[in-house]
Amino acid sequence: MVLATGGTAMLTRLHNRHLSWNKEKLMRARTLIARSSLLIWVIACGSLIASGQHRGAEPKSASQYPLITCEELKQLIDAKATQDIVIVDTQPRESFAEAHIPGAVNLPYTDRVKPPVNLSRTKTLVLYCPCEHEEESTDMATQLQKLGYSKLKLLQGGLPRWQALQYPTAKIATGEHPSAK
């Protein structure tokens, strides 16, 4: 009986040790999975934050239309070399009347440009808007392209950049309105 009791006790201890080892192994596996999940979550959040910050620092995307800088346009205006371009302002009429680039014509932004559009098809249209990242002028260029205009450029930085450089703007006296229509 002593032998049977001693043998059973020994088997019980071995069984408990085996259970303890399995529990320990299971706990290590759970800890490893939890830590890996946390690490993946931290990396994913960091990536989302970094991509969001990167997008905010630059324009939404590269434009499909060539850009002209304010400095380049100012040089053309100063050299009176604008015979091959038409500067197109996409601001509402009231805003255009208050401030626009000298020599510009007004084609107010709309989500659907309706023909006929009274703009030259042989000259390069330089579109600008009151946006810093050419959102409205890009949309207008897309609409004009669908109407057959192919010589399109966008003013990089639009009117805000022009004004930040302290370049001259023009106003319209009451009753006048140079418009594309």
Distances (CA, A) of 91 to 60, 99, 107: 20, 10, 7
Peptide bond into 108 cis (omega under 30): no
Amino acid type, 63: S
Give me the percent of the chain exceeding a pLDDT of 90: 54
Averaged pLDDT, 154-181 = 83
pLDDT at 17: 67
Question: In whole angstroms, how large is the CA radius of gyration of the chain?
Answer: 34
State the Cα–Cα distance between residues 38 and 73, nearest whole angstrom.
52
Digit-coded pLDDT (tens) for 100-126: 999 999 999 998 998 889 999 999 999
pLDDT, the chain, mean: 82
89 within 8 A of 104, measured Cβ to Cβ? yes
pLDDT at 60: 46
Q: Name the DSSP class of 162.
A: H
pTM score, whole prediction: 0.63
* Of 88, 103, 98, the residue nearest 134 (C-alpha): 88
Digit-coded pLDDT (tens) for 2-42: 555 566 776 667 666 666 667 777 778 788 787 777 778 67
Digit-coded pLDDT (tens) for 57-66: 444 456 799 9
Check whether 180 has a pLDDT greater than 60. Answer: no
**Higher-confidence residue: 144 or 41?**
144
What does the angle CA 158 – CA 92 – CA 115 come to, to the nearest 5 degrees? 100
